[in-house]
Structure 1
Amino acid sequence: MPHPQSHPHSHGAVAAGMLAALLTVATGCASADTDRTTTNPTSAAPLAPSAVSWRTWQGIELPVAAQGPRLIEGAVASDFDRSPPGAALTAIHATVRMSLAPDGQWSQVGQRMLAPGPGRDKWATARAQVSIIGPASDWVPIILGYVVAAYTDTEARVETYCAYADRSVTRNTATVVWAADGWRLLLPDPVTESLVTAVDSVPVDMIPLIRP
């Protein structure tokens, strides 16, 4: 979940920004906020995760809940519920882990957390051109919460909101699809809009991820 390019970055964050830029066919900067529309994913399914805790990975705190991930192996997180919160947690983990997985581990993230297709192929080509050794240290995002903008049992669109040290806030839009082994992040190809957007504030319908 990269931050606008105008700020200094650590080595790991720079690499994440480079990957995001290549994926969005942009400069790495977040675009200005645009009109946001949300569809009710389902009136029956719970949208909030339960038993949320936090684990630091590559310098970023990631949420772990009863809805997943229930298995973490190196850079790969898996076993998320087939539910709105399970889809949202997948989107968060997959986006961060594909961006900051260190050398020697990123290919496993691609094979197990990303949906096959041209988007994944382009990401792999981009990732092979950079090196990430250590964790991000500067301008690390704080994950605030998410909105499940659309949901079915086979596909979900998730908007994740993050804050930074300068009090700026971004929205990261991601799509996950259900596969035989669970949710996977679907990287778009072609990219028709910026996946990372600067916003003035979080929406009132955001599901907050509360820290203890």
Structure 2
Amino acid sequence: MHAPNGDKATTVLVLASAVALGAAVLTGCGNDRTETSAPGEQPQADVHSPPTGLRWTPFQGVELPVGDQGPKAVNGSVATGFDQAPVGAGLAAIHATVRMSVATDSQWPLVGQQMLAPGPGRDAWAVTRAQISITSVITNGAPKILGYNITRYTRDAADIAIYTRQSDSSLTRNTATVLWQSSDWRLLIPDRPTTPTVTAVDTTPVDMVALAGH
């Protein structure tokens, strides 16, 4: 099935939802508080700090945030090198979500191999993605990433809510989970998602980490 350029602009991040992208399935998901450290562990991480050195780079017509916390390297369709910290997790979730959604037919296999956590969920996504054809860049109406919230964070896993303004001015929230694997954050695609990963919202939360400048 071929996805026309106009359709891509309205379905970016929704394709990910259709194939069960990053639902919050870790124990304790849905808790709006960051996990509290036990005695002797590292202090609670600051999940509200924004990226430093924020700038923007395009991928397939969508502007993606780059900060001092990552990605440190961009090789074609693949972005890697995110800090093992809340900001790094947030940036990694955004990059993986968008890149897997709009990567072209020749790009998506590498995105899947290097930016998604291995497992049955990733395998199912690959089967679904192989049935869709994306060959061109979004030239108009690309969605705009506004910011994110980290709803749960440990040094090994984080749940992220990504807020996006679509081309019709509507707002959406995309939930994603990233895991720290092989010295980087990788997006988890759950085996059996229980809730939609992309939902419409009326407004962004007051404590959202805003990503300005584009």
TM-score interval, smaller chain: 0.7 to 0.9
Report the Cα distance in structure 1 between the residues aligned to 2:129 and 2:11, rounded to whole angstroms: 8
Between 90-99 and 157-166, the greater mean CA deviation after superposition = 157-166
Whether the 8 Å CA contact 2:10–2:142 is kept in 1: the answer is no
**2:12–2:143 contact (8 Å) kept in structure 1:** no
Tell me by how many angstroms 1:191 deviates.
Answer: 1.1
Residue in 1 that maps onto 2:15: 19
2:121 to 119, 122, 135: 119
2: CA distance, partners of 1:75 / 1:137: 18
Aligned to 1:4: none
Alignment deviations for residues 97-131 of structure 1 (CA, whole Å, 9 cap, x no partner): 01111111111000000000111001100111111
- Secondary structure at the counterpart of residue 161 of structure 2: strand
Q: Provide the rounded CA distance (Å) in 2 between the counterparts of 1:132 and 1:151.
A: 34
| TM-score, structure 2 as length reference | 0.84
In 2, Cα distance between the equivalents of 1:17 and 1:72? 20
Q: Distance in 2 between matches of 1:166 and 1:52?
A: 26
Aligned residues: 195
Q: Deviations over 1:54-88 (max 9, x none)?
A: 01110100000000001000100000000000000
Structure 2 counterparts to residues 100-179 of structure 1, below 5 A: 100-179=102-181
1:211 to 179, 203, 213: 213
**CA-to-aligned-CA distance 1:164-183 (integer Å, 9 cap, x gap):** 23221000000000002311
Mapped contact 1:16–1:100 kept (Cα < 8 A): yes
Q: Unaligned 5+ residue runs, structure 2?
A: 22-29, 37-43
Q: Could you tell which deviates more after superposition, 97-106 or 74-83?
A: 97-106
Q: Retained in 2: the 8 A contact 1:23–1:191?
A: no
The separation in 1 between residues aligned to 2:205 and 2:129, in whole angstroms, is 32
Distance in 1 (CA, whole Å) between partners of 2:13 and 2:200 is 14
CA distance in 2, matches of 1:157, 1:87: 9
Identity of aligned residues (%): 48
Which residue number in structure 2 is paired with residue 65 of structure 1?
67
SS at match of 2:64: strand
Structure 1 segments unaligned to the other structure (5+ residues)? 1-7, 26-35
Whether the 8 Å CA contact 2:158–2:179 is kept in 1: the answer is yes
Shift of 1:19: 3.5
CA distance in 2, matches of 1:91, 1:122: 19
Q: Which has the higher contact order (CA 8 A, sep 6+)?
A: 2
RMSD: 2.2
- Aligned partners of 1:129, 1:15: CA distance in 2, in Å? 16
